[in-house]
Amino acid sequence: MKDSHSLDLKHFITADPEGIRTLHMVIDGMHCPSCVALIESALKKIPDVIYARVNFSTRRLIIKWVGENHIGNDSLQTITNMGYRAAPFDVQTQETLSQRESKFLLRCLAIAGFASGNLMMFSIPIWSSDAFEIGVGTRILFYWIEAIIAIPAILYSGLPFYRSAWNALKLGTTNMDVPISVAVILATCMSLFETITHGKHAYFDSSVMLLFFLLIGRYLDAKARGKAREAAHDLLHMMIGFTTCIKPDGTYETIPFSDIKEGMVLLVAVGEKFGADGDISEGTSEIDTSIITGETLPQKIEPGSRVFAGMINITAPVRLTVTKAGERSLLSDIIKLMEVAEQSQAKYVTIAEKISSWYTPVVHALAAATFLGWWFVGGIEWQVALLYAATVLIITCPCALGLAVPVVQVLASGILMRRGILVKSGSALERLACITHIAFDKTGTLTYGKPELLAPESISPKHLQLAASMAVHSKHPLSQAIMLAYHGALLDIMVTEVPGYGLEAHTDTTSIKLGKRSWCAPFEVVDDSVLELWLSIQDEKPVRFTFADRCRDDAPNVVQSFLSHGKHICLLSGDRNEVVQDVAHQTGIHHAMAALSPTGKHEVLKSLKDQGAHILMVGDGLNDAPSLVEANVSMSPSTAMDITQNAADIVFQGEALSPVLYAWEMAVFSQRLVKQNFVLAILYNVVAIPLAVAGCITPLIAAIAMSSSSLLVVGNAMRLHFCSRKHP
């Protein structure tokens, strides 16, 4: 990692129209939630910094300020001065830091384990005999040999804890590594003192084994957090790679994704990722869109098709004209939204961080009270009292509490992302788990939002072919619906569009119209309000084409599932009453309100909230935006307008409605895990601390218990994967 002074951060800093600058960094050297609090606190003291948030699980920092770019360098320098290593975020940097941390912890662990095994050869004879049997001289010799083995191992293997503790103390504060370091150093110094004075209270073996078990916990914890980061890494890896650029002179050049510019033409071979958003300009192929949409079936692309960065070309080479590259691509936007969501503070995160901030003063006071109480009141030797105090320092752990929420949050967001569900707000799952009412919009939410031709088999092949041959010349939704329903050859006829009426074609002997009833069949009388087009052929009876916006296939099942869980469901629509009631009947919704304006929908939700309801609003239209904001939590399909997606807390991909149900089930399960993790972390401290104060636990057992508590919390959070596998 470069020195902070030599880094030019301007290429990593982004600025929005309001002048707020943002920098993403990755931080190495954090070991506990206290480190997060230290860094955030120090950064917020820098003038003009308005936001600083570190994610302990992903090691990523987002800092925002109003002012010049040099504040980014000041922030980097502040972090470096605290003893942490920071760099502008990129995937390689984060992976390098993670790998380096794992290797260092593994090296420390190996040294501590090797030393522990050798120390046992001398400790067992001492433990299994008294001074008379083994002889005082032999015991002293064994203690000196233990000291020679243990002290170098303690000095090196304890570095992860000493460095972290020293960094905190330099700033006049503490973290969880301070008491651990104090306990190890005190036990070692006491053992050395006893060895020099020919005493009997030497515990070199305990100090080394204590570090050994602490390092096991820390190493496994680092691995588990790496597992939790996989979802974000999967996405970030999609932003890395090389592609072939076709230059204006027709020559080819291989360039990294980071060098792609808008307007470039790229040649994407079979099996390659698309490195940017763009339109297919040449070639036909199939693509894997699962990274963006969650759809597992390949999708056909042809000239004019829109593709997004991260999708994979499957069957044939194509040429892509880039419309959005790098930071402006859809995948980049998704990653940023995930980061913002993971950095957000849910209620339980705030509680955990407050409790963790009380940890250090409380645990030091407890350790001091234990030492003084046992020595002065209990009347035991000061060496044994010191051992009890060291046990209290080790066993009291806020790490499990600090991990209780973030690890669940990161895992849940990653699992949902793989299903094409993007969680934009850190507290969205917490709010989603508490809903009592669900309000659905109709068009584009319960329905596909695309009209389909009804009963095409009832239309004669001749008329359907003629209508399709004319409709192919129009982008009108009803013309597109005819095209989708017809799969035969098209007639070669000249078609002109008559604005406001429809399409018209002429052959040598016949005039043909496709369009409104008033234009094509003015004398036909129809008593319904179904969407329609009429085909008029000179001297023939006009043919009527009817259309409907079909309900999503799984909408009735999703509604029934929510009803079976006791949720109240309503349909709010601005459409006509008969259409709304028909959709409500098809989906099994008993409470439907039609002809509602955006204000009307908003008022309905506000009234329900006033009655104590916790509402999930699912909508996609511009008229739904106020309701999405008013609801306790909101979801929107990815086909929704930008303003609607911006207002929603969660955006889901694909043609199905089941992501709404799946997200709710994951939210309920993840909140259950968060509460369980809280109980586990608090229960551990409630049970372990009194036992340690009472002298019932050795430092070795304390080290095992402390490491186990963090792993237990992480392991409990991993159960989210089992929940996800229940839903293929």
Contact of 592 with 584, CB cutoff 8 Å: yes
Length of the chain counted residue by residue:
728
Q: Distance between alpha carbon 643 and the CA centroid of its chain, in Å?
A: 22
**SS3 per-residue string spanning 441-496:** CHHHHHEEEEEEECCHHHCCHHHHHHHHHHHCCCCCHHHHHHHHHCCCCCCCCCEE
Active site residues: 441
The 8-class DSSP code of residue 698 comes to -
Contacts of 248 (CB under 8 A, 6+ apart): none
Distance CA 656, CA 658 (A): 6
CB 97 within 8 A of CB 26: yes
Element (H, E) at 685: helix 658-693
Alpha-carbon span 78 to 87, nearest angstrom: 12
Q: Which residues contact 419 (CB under 8 A, 6 or more apart)?
A: 294, 659, 662, 724
Cα 412 off chain centre by: 7
Element at 208 (helix H, strand E): helix 204-228
Q: DSSP labels for 416-445?
A: HHHTTEEE--TTHHHHHTT--EEEE-IIII
For 284-298, what is the HEC assignment? Answer: CEEEECHHHHCCCCC
**CA–CA distance, 257 with 586 (Å, rounded to integer):** 47
